[in-house]
Amino acid sequence: MFNGTRHSRFGGTYVVKSMKAISDNELIYHKPLSKLESLNFDADKQKVKTPRNRLPVQSTSAERRSAFSIRLFLKEFCIEFLNGAYNTLMCQVKRNLVRQKSQNHDESYYLWALSQV
């Protein structure tokens, strides 16, 4: 005698009385009755994907705060660097430019270095 498969794939067809389908017919439900509470018409729909060039711009500029002691150390380092190395170097370069002991394009390099501070 043939018993069939272990689990029947046919759960039944049910008519939902409280809902109307298209053209005012009664809604027919093909899932098991235990899933009637989770009746969702959007379950099998795929979301429309937006192309990457149409996505909204995400700002990645998250403000990062460092420790106060680190900021103080960096500030002191910058002041010492400006007073000890940069200002001395720029004074020497300026003297060489005034005395015309420079090479080609040194004036433009000097002005570029001044604009970086």
Rounded to 5 degrees, φ, ψ at 103 are -100, 180
CA distance 88 to 85: 5
**Mean of pLDDT values over 76-80:** 91
% of the chain residues with pLDDT over 70: 84
Query: Is 115 within 8 Å of 109 (Cβ atoms)?
Result: no
pLDDT tens digits for range 2-54: 565 666 666 677 787 777 888 888 888 777 666 666 777 777 788 889 999 99
CA distance 74 to 66: 11
Query: Is 35 within 8 Å of 16 (Cβ atoms)?
Result: no
- The amino acid sitting at 113 is A
0.85 exceeded by pTM: no
Query: Is 110 within 8 Å of 96 (Cβ atoms)?
Result: no
Query: Is 98 within 8 Å of 107 (Cβ atoms)?
Result: no
User: Which pair of tokens denotes residue 61?
Assistant: 């500029």
